[in-house]
């Protein structure tokens, strides 16, 4: 948030560019690409690769190296978190989400699992009872109208996606 405020005070065009690197539900068409770009930068451990040289230069020119230092530290912490294996082979990562002018961190968890599914084996022509590779993911969100929501998904064989939505608040 502070990096964005500094950029807006120093160079509005740089602030707009910075906003473009942060996943935002107000730009649904860009949400998935910005999340994937953020995750790729995390994997490489490269803050400048995520924010871009221009945005980093703007922060440096503003004289607010303390902001860069804290941003770098936060980014490294999230990158470390993404590498840790949690209980049950889960991996978790906190993703920044810019909702208009407010930042939220959403929790995203994944794990690879092997599921024996007779129906899947028959569809694939595989009748030997082998395992099917499945990616399971959990996404915890806090939504303004629905409150806390969890999206629980299974991606099977990179072809079939099953999604469950959990909410404490009844859906309309």
131: confidence class by pLDDT, cuts 50, 70, 90: low
Is a pLDDT exceeding 80 seen at residue 121? no
Residues 67-92, buried b or exposed e (16+ Cβ, 10 A)?
bbeebeeebeebbeebeeeeeeeebb
Q: How many CB atoms lie within 10 A of CB 131?
A: 13
Helix (H) or strand (E) run with residue 94 in it:
strand 91-99
Distance in angstroms (rounded) separating the CA atoms of residues 44 and 90: 20
Report residue 18 as tokens: 């910075």
**Three-state SS at 42:** helix
What region does 80 belong to: left with phi over 0, alpha with psi -120 to 50, or beta? alpha
| The pLDDT of residue 109 | 93
Helix (H) or strand (E) run with residue 148 in it:
strand 147-156
- At 20-48, the pLDDT tens digits run 889 888 888 888 889 889 989 998 888 98
- At 73-111, the pLDDT tens digits run 999 999 998 888 888 889 999 999 998 778 888 889 999
């Amino acid at each position: 948030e502070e990096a964005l405020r500094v950029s807006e005070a120093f160079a509005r065009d740089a602030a707009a560019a910075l906003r473009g690197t942060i996943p935002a539900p107000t730009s649904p068409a860009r949400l998935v690409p910005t999340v994937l770009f953020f995750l790729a930068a995390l994997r490489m451990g490269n803050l400048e690769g995520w924010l871009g040289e221009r945005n980093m230069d703007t922060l440096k020119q503003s004289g607010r190296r303390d902001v860069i230092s804290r941003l770098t530290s936060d980014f490294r912490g999230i990158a470390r978190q993404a590498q840790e294996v949690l209980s049950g082979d889960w991996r978790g990562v906190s993703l920044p989400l810019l909702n208009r002018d407010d930042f939220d961190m959403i929790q995203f968890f994944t794990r690879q699992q092997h599921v024996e599914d007779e129906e899947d084996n028959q569809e694939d022509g595989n009748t030997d009872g082998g395992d099917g590779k499945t990616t399971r993911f959990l996404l915890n969100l806090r939504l303004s109208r629905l409150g806390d929501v969890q999206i629980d998904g299974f991606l099977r064989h990179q072809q079939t996606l099953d999604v469950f939505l959990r909410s404490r608040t009844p859906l309309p």
